[in-house]
Structure formats: C-alpha cells, structure tokens
Structure 1
Amino acid sequence: MTAGDTTSATPAFDTVSIEVDAEHGIGWLFFDRPEKRNAMNPTLNREMILALEVLEADEAVRCVVLTGRGEAWSAGMDLKEYFRVVEAGPPHVEVRARRESAEWQWRRLIHFSKPTIAMVNGWCFGGAFTPLVCCDLAIAAEDATFGLSEVNWGIPPGGLVSRALAETIPARDSLWFIMTGEAFDGRRAAEMRLVNEAVPSDRLRERTVEVASKLAGMNTHVLRAAKVGFKKAQQMSWDEAEDYLYAKLDAATGHDPDQGKQQGMAQFLDDKTYRPGLGSYEKH
C-alpha cells in the first residue's frame, strides 16, 4: 500500500495476496503471479475462494478491488497447467479444477455481499474476462491490453467467457474479437461497456480509490439489495421482478441496523438537508 494507508494483518498465499486499507474501507485483492502475467492456475483458483472468504468476513472491508501485480491484470488460464497437467491427470482432477474456477470467478463474485471493482492495470486475456465481468464495476487503464486470442491457436474461448461477453458487450463487437483474435485497449473496452471507465494509467489507482471509497462510505445493506436486485431482475419478467424487488426493498430497509431509509427520508422530507442526486444522506 502507499504511504499513509492503514493496513491490517491478512493470511499469506502463494498466488494471490490481500491488503486491507482500513482507513478507506477497501480490501485489495491481487492476482499475484507476475512472472506468469497473473495467469490463473488451479492453486490460484483455490486461493481466490479463500481470499474472498477472508475479505467478506473482515468488517474493516466495505468494498473489494480486484487487480494484478506487475504489468498484467490476468493473462487468463495458465494453459500449460491446464492442458499439460490437469487434463493429463485422472478425471477427478479436471472436475475439481473446473468447479473451483467457477466457484470464485462467477459464483462468488456475482453474489458477493460487498461491492466489487475490477481495476484492470494491464493484460486481460481469455479466461480473465469472466471475473472481470462478474465484478460489479470495472475501471481500466487506457493502455491496458485486452484480447480473446484463443482462435489463433485453434480453440474457442474457454470456460464461461462467451457468457460473460454476452452479459456486457454487443453481439457484433463480441463476435469480432472472438473470431479475429485481435487485441484492443482500455479505451475500446470502455466504448463497448466492457468496463465503466478508462483512465490514464497514472490515474488508475487514484480513480479506483475514489470510486471504492464512495461505495465503502455508503449503506452496505442497501447497496447489496440494489445490486442483487438488478442482477436477479435481468432474468425475470416484469411481474416476477415486481414481486421480487418489493420483497428485497422490504428486507433491506426492515433489517438495516443503520436505519438508512429512515435517516435518508427524514433528511429529505423533514429536515430539507438532503437533495437526491446531489450526494448521499448523512449517516448518524
């Protein structure tokens, strides 16, 4: 962490690492195989599951940022380990590897109880698109390099990459990069809405901290209800969504120890101290 950051002790891992900035409520989760451009191998997948559990349980962490050590976010699957080690082993080894990669890359991230931000600091290729999309928000360096190069060596995109792309990118753009294998930069990623923003690399951390701090300062119960409600409603009819979202609203406001709805409404309707759209209500 930079000078002045407040950190707390966290477990040691071999392929990932955690830094907790308690002052700002941010948990930094790193792909930590810089010598392999942070490629995801079975060990990393197992450790990511454990690391997310640590961050979810840490009360000092109110927002999680997923990023990479060195010059890469993640180069995707570690092809050597998967195609030369995992697939050469007994069937249960491959089954476990697939299960553990899916467990954190989409199941945990999609349903994570705290806001998540992907901070794409460099290379993002292949299988790395899945956790990128499954983070709630994403900010990339303008010169970050993205690519779906699998077609160049004779295979389609692996895992759930195609499903992730369908969640975020228009079909024409998705098929262009899937079928040509061409790379693109952070600016293009933002144009296609694969990421929310692309900023100069020297401002990437600053901008990410700004957004993460804003989320960390908000009501966690309401944020969770808002993001889960949106994701669930995407798959529902209007009638189903009405029932579900009203139930989530009641649950979020009825079991909120911060009494966020009551505070916000009182400041807006009674005290006239809060104006929606121009900031957050003041938490007491």
Structure 2
Amino acid sequence: MAEMDGYETIVVDTADGVTTVRLNRPDKRNAMNPTMHREMVDALRRLADDDTTQVLVLTGAGRSFCAGQDLKEYFHEIRDDARAREQARRDSHDWRYRLLYNFPKPTIAAVNGYCFGGAFTVVASCDIAVAADEATFGLSEVNWGHIPGGMVTKIVADLMPPKQALYYILTGRTFGGATSARIGLTTMSVPLADLERTVSELADELKAKDPLTLRACKEAFKGVDIRGMSAEASLSWLTAKSDQLRRQQAQAGRTDGAESFLKKEYRPGFAPMPRARA
C-alpha cells in the first residue's frame, strides 16, 4: 500500500486487505471541514488504485461517526472567499458522492455514534451501512433555519419512505440505529459492542468473492440509474455488463462459476466460486 500518513483529519490503516478510513476530529464530533474534504478526495483516489485494498471501511474516531459539516470552518470562515468556498463545495461533493459512491471495491460504513446532516450522504454512498444501536441520527437543519442541503434531501428521499423522510426533516427529531435500519437509511444495526466484529466479518465475506464480479455487480447497479431505466434499456445494459465481466474473467484466468457448479465443485447458493481456474 502507498504511504498514507500525513493527514490532519483522517487516519488510514490497511490490514489483511481491509482498509479503514477513520474520520479523526473527535473533539469536533468528526464534523467535516475543508481540510477533511480535501484529504478524503486524495485518500479515495489513491485507494481506488491500491491493490492491497480489497474492502473499504469508513468510520469515525471517538463517540461520533460524523456530525455533518463544520458550521464554522465550512460555512462561516470562507463565506466571503468565493474561490475557497467553491473548492470546498467541489471537494465535499466529489468524495462523498462521486468517489465514494462509485468506489471500485466494496465499501462499508460503520456508524459508531452521532450521524447528522451531511454525514447522511456518506452513509448512503457506502454499499453497506452497519449502525450501532446506540448511534444517533438527525437532520437538525430545520432547527437552525435551513433545509438539509447539498445532496442530503435527495439521499433521504431516495432511501427512506416519504412520510418518514418528511417527519425527520420537518421535526429535526433524532433516531437510533435500529430505526435507521428499519426505514432504509442503513443496512442493519447491532449493539455497539458488536459493531467492529460485525463489520470485520462482512469484510472477510466480501474479500472471499471474486473482485471482478464484485466490481461488475456494483457497476451494474450504480453505473447508471437502473431504477429509472425501462425494462428494455435495463436488459440491454445488464447483458452488456455480463458479457464484459465474462471477458474480463477469461483474460484474468478466473474459474468459470457455472462450469464449476456443473462439475459439482461448489454450491453457489452457499459459497463464492473458486478463485483459480479448474
């Protein structure tokens, strides 16, 4: 793995194919400032091409996942500097949506504590989100005279049932990890004491699968707005993606999963296909 030291607001660590990026401003509840946005852009770009990173985990230091944008450093301090404001906006959007949402390897958000406002975008952009039961989620923008800005309102509208989304947008009330899973913002919730183990087990399960297939599955779902496509367009897109994957696997010497299944070498309903060609 390339050297990833020297960041001020994040910590990057890789072990056994799993890279953990930890938002590291615990005294500010890991609120996102322009420096964090800039460093996350750099880290995600480098990790996307890092062969030692098979799975990416994103979490927060201390008792918070992320408290949203740093109101002082992201909004107030640069409000009169048009260039700095535009750069911060660009970096903020780039890493939380373009780079994280389209990251070429599986991503897991481990929501360990407070998760407010702009942090919803981080959770939504990860493929899998595991929340601690004790985590606290909230859209408090209404309480200080704003709407959930950036991509947050769209994210909430895409993931949550409309009545639930509007309820939390309009009231600013908080909710816990179990509710976050029930309304579709996260994948599941577990006790905080089990969060690290659960995420580790998920990462190990993903690592065992063919990386070319994992990437193709992500691209098939995320590469275009599959939900908005017609049946005919979806069929064309998915057929082309399947054909592309088979070519890539053949070039890489991957085992043909269907062939191995017919030889009774494995059970695809219960295990990933063998890595080496039979």
Please indicate, yes or no, whether the TM-score normalized by the shorter chain is above 0.5: yes
- Give the structure 2 partner of residue 4 of structure 1: none
Alignment equivalent of 1:50, drawn from 34, 37, 42: 42
Aligned partners of 1:244 and 1:112: how far apart in 2?
20
Aligned partners of 2:208 and 2:6: how far apart in 1?
28
Which segment is superposed worse, 98-107 or 53-62? 53-62
- Give the structure 1 partner of residue 248 of structure 2: 255
Instruction: Tell whether the 8 Å contact from 1:34 to 1:70 is kept in structure 2 after alignment.
Output: yes
Is residue 18 from structure 1 mapped to residue 34 from structure 2 by the alignment?
no
Aligned partners of 1:99 and 1:8: how far apart in 2?
25
Which secondary structure state, in structure 2, belongs to the residue aligned with residue 19 of structure 1? Answer: strand
Aligned partners of 1:8 and 1:81: how far apart in 2?
30
User: What code does the residue aligned with 1:35 have?
Assistant: D
Report how far residue 258 of structure 1 moved: 4.3
Structure 1 unaligned spans of 5+: 1-6
- Give the structure 1 partner of residue 204 of structure 2: 213
Which secondary structure state, in structure 1, belongs to the residue aligned with residue 175 of structure 2? Answer: strand
Partner deviation per Cα, 1:28-84 (whole Å, 9 max, x = no partner): 011111111000011100000111122222211101000001110000000111231
Alignment equivalent of 2:269, drawn from 271, 274, 277: 277
Alignment equivalent of 1:106, drawn from 97, 109, 126: 97
Alignment equivalent of 2:141, drawn from 122, 146, 150: 150
Describe the shift of the 1:174–1:259 C-alpha distance in structure 2 as closer, same or farther (beyond 3 A).
Answer: farther
Aligned partners of 1:272 and 1:176: how far apart in 2?
52
Report how far residue 213 of structure 1 moved: 1.2
Runs of 4+ in structure 1 off by over 3 angstroms are 257-260
Normalised TM-score (structure 1): 0.92
Is residue 240 from structure 1 mapped to residue 233 from structure 2 by the alignment?
yes
Aligned partners of 1:82 and 1:283: how far apart in 2?
46
Instruction: Tell whether the 8 Å contact from 2:4 to 2:43 is kept in structure 1 after alignment.
Output: no
Normalised TM-score (structure 2): 0.94
Q: How many residues align?
A: 273
Partner deviation per Cα, 1:68-109 (whole Å, 9 max, x = no partner): 0111000000011123112132x2221111111000000011
Partner deviation per Cα, 1:150-180 (whole Å, 9 max, x = no partner): 1011111121101111221111110000000
Report how far residue 110 of structure 1 moved: 1.5
Aligned partners of 1:8 and 1:214: how far apart in 2?
25
Instruction: Tell whether the 8 Å contact from 2:134 to 2:192 is kept in structure 1 after alignment.
Output: yes
Is residue 196 from structure 1 mapped to residue 196 from structure 2 by the alignment?
no
Which secondary structure state, in structure 2, belongs to the residue aligned with residue 279 of structure 1? Answer: coil
Structure 2 unaligned spans of 5+: none
- Give the structure 1 partner of residue 78 of structure 2: 86
